[in-house]
Structure 1
Amino acid sequence: MQHGPAVRRRKLGAELRGLRAAAGLTSGEAARLVGWHQSKVSRIETGISGVKPADVCLLLDAYRVADPELRELLVGLAGSEGNGRHHWWHAYRGVLPPTYRDFISLESQASGMRTLETSVVPGLLQTREYARAVTRAAVDGLEERKLDALVEVRLARQDVLRSNPPLELTAVLDEAVLRRTVGGREVMERQLARLLAAAHLPHVRLQVLPFAAGAHIGISGPFVIFSFPNTTDLDVVVLDHMTSSLYLERKEDLQAYSEAFNALQFHALSPKDSLDYIAAIRDGA
């Protein structure tokens, strides 16, 4: 279990170690190829030390890694500006806590996101009015300038659903998400309409877990599973708490949460029935 920056260092290091081994190199041989001491390679591979994007490129060149998507992902984990889509949130460093910045970083690089939501609409699907009401309620006494900035960040995050290729979003929503009136009746009606529109996108899958389903495996709280292109070794589970986030990287944790999500999908309404259910709630049922 690690906090965000540490988990990314560990995952980047593990991936680089695997690529070195695949290239048939020892850590000492890799170090000589790039002009470093062997201890630097070891610190990077174990996640003890961070690594600059330029150094990642040196290692990838030494390991003859040509796949552009894999290179972009690994360089991005080291902090590269990537293709311009990554790290746009640096402009908001003054209002975003480190854990939130790291979550956005993972989200921007992921190819897939599975999320269980038990209280609020997923941030990637929120309307501006809904996002404002949720943010105001979550952060007591927030001044208007910071509130505006946090809402803009929430909306900017949604670009991952419009990128090429877009993030594949699968969300299971507890019925409480749909029933809780956030920002007033009109705001909630528009938010439900937004969910209905988003659910028709080919890369968005929504399922509702109705109250009638009773107690379920996700009742202890929401979670997010990020998946990454090319390798499952970078997948990570994120658990949010009021003042921090926890990142789970062990294969046992990933398997447990993946199985839990599959169970939630099994007990939830089908995507088609979920749309009908959301429409009925929007219309006052």
Structure 2
Amino acid sequence: MRHIPEVRRRRLGEELRKLRQSAGLTSGQTARLLGWHQSKVSRIETGVSGVKDEDLAGLLDALGVSDPQLRLLLGALAGTTSNGQGWWMAYGGVIPPQYRDFISLESQARTARTLETSVVPGLLQTPAYARAVTRAALGGMPSATVDSLVEVRLARQEVLRAGIPLKLHAVLDEAVLRRQVGGPGVMREQLLQLSELARLPHICLQVLPFTGGGYVGLTGPFVIFSFPHITDLDLVVLDHLTNSLYLERKEDLEAYCAAFGTMQAHALSTEDSLDLIAGIGDGA
């Protein structure tokens, strides 16, 4: 069982307590069903302690939680490997646990709001662009590892093609569009794909133009996830190529949500953003 942030333990405990109450069970009854001491249930529900893979699975069984998506999300929230059926687990030797958790959360999110200041968001990258970014960021890494990381990045994009796709709202600095990653040919293909994807109903793309000057998110990219099954679980992720940092304090969430709203208001409209992308693509 890995260490997980106290805020996430408390949130997990709150959700487990709600599920127990919905099942009409007391903490003592739940403990007896599982052969535990009541104090163990209390420690988990109050976030004092984390929960092991097998204990979480048994607890959810006892509470009658059968929804696979909810179980997967709770597993990711707990930082356990109970979500091991995910495709990303096959890359355990290449990507660290934090990145696997990020992908698991991404796969269960209802919406994602993302700011990118340097590169195209991973969910919108072409294969050639993804390879060029990976090689540039991880110079000297064996080709096989680069191939695996690119596979992971492209596999993540399935969330945009699911029956109920992830709703993605991306705000891009104009630098993302003008940086010649992989050369002109790669960029033309990437910009064309951005234009095509931005016309899908579940994807909203806006550009922060150079003429807008400085802005609140200029210091770095981030993602805000929201989920369908658990209320008040929005979280901010600072996403790196092979690692992720979670920000879960209420103050952090409020600050990043406010910042994203401000950037939306100052960015070009979706129509004007598409026009800018097309113009840059024609000149690439």
1:193 counterpart residue number: 192
What RMSD in Å do the two structures reach over aligned CA positions? 2.5
**How far apart in 2 are the matches of 1:4 and 1:162?**
33
Question: 1:49-60 maps to which residues of 2 (within 5 A)?
Answer: 49-52=50-53, 53-60=56-63
CA contact (8 A) 2:96 2:242 kept: no
1:24-51 deviation per Cα after TM superposition (whole angstroms, max 9, x unaligned): 6543343234432112213322162224
**TM superposition shift of 1:220:** 1.3
Question: 1:125-136 maps to which residues of 2 (within 5 A)?
Answer: 125-136=124-135
1:231 counterpart residue number: 230
Larger displacement relative to structure 2 (90-99 or 192-201): 90-99
1:108-129 deviation per Cα after TM superposition (whole angstroms, max 9, x unaligned): 1111111000000000000000
**TM superposition shift of 1:233:** 2.4
CA contact (8 A) 2:109 2:225 kept: yes
2:177 is equivalent to residue 178 of structure 1: yes
Give structure 1 regions of 4+ aligned residues with deviation exceeding 6 angstroms: none
Larger displacement relative to structure 2 (186-195 or 101-110): 101-110
Question: 1:58-73 maps to which residues of 2 (within 5 A)?
Answer: 58-61=61-64, 70-71=70-71, 73=73
SS in 2 for 1:182: coil
TM-score scaled to structure 2, two decimals?
0.88
**TM superposition shift of 1:242:** 7.8
1:14 counterpart residue number: 14
Q: Which runs of 5+ in 2 are unaligned?
A: none
**TM superposition shift of 1:254:** 1.4
Question: 1:244-259 maps to which residues of 2 (within 5 A)?
Answer: 244-259=243-258
Larger displacement relative to structure 2 (180-189 or 226-235): 226-235
1:58-115 deviation per Cα after TM superposition (whole angstroms, max 9, x unaligned): 3432xxx677754553356454458xxx610111111112221111111111111110
CA contact (8 A) 2:129 2:182 kept: yes
2:271 counterpart residue number: 272
**How far apart in 1 are the matches of 2:15 and 2:105?**
16
TM-score scaled to structure 1, two decimals?
0.87
Code of the residue aligned with 1:168 in structure 2: it is: K
2:113 counterpart residue number: 114
Code of the residue aligned with 2:175 in structure 1: it is: A
SS in 2 for 1:91: helix
Code of the residue aligned with 2:74 in structure 1: it is: L
How many aligned positions are there? 277
CA contact (8 A) 2:129 2:186 kept: yes
CA contact (8 A) 2:72 2:83 kept: no
2:167 is equivalent to residue 168 of structure 1: yes
**How far apart in 1 are the matches of 2:62 and 2:184?**
55
User: Structure 1 vs Structure 2: percent identity of aligned residues?
Assistant: 65
CA contact (8 A) 2:96 2:243 kept: no
Code of the residue aligned with 1:195 in structure 2: it is: L
CA contact (8 A) 2:73 2:104 kept: no
**How far apart in 1 are the matches of 2:48 and 2:62?**
15
SS in 2 for 1:234: coil
**How far apart in 2 are the matches of 1:9 and 1:87?**
22
2:123 counterpart residue number: 124
CA contact (8 A) 1:12 1:47 kept: no
**TM superposition shift of 1:215:** 0.7
**How far apart in 2 are the matches of 1:68 and 1:88?**
15
CA contact (8 A) 2:209 2:268 kept: yes
SS in 1 for 2:204: strand
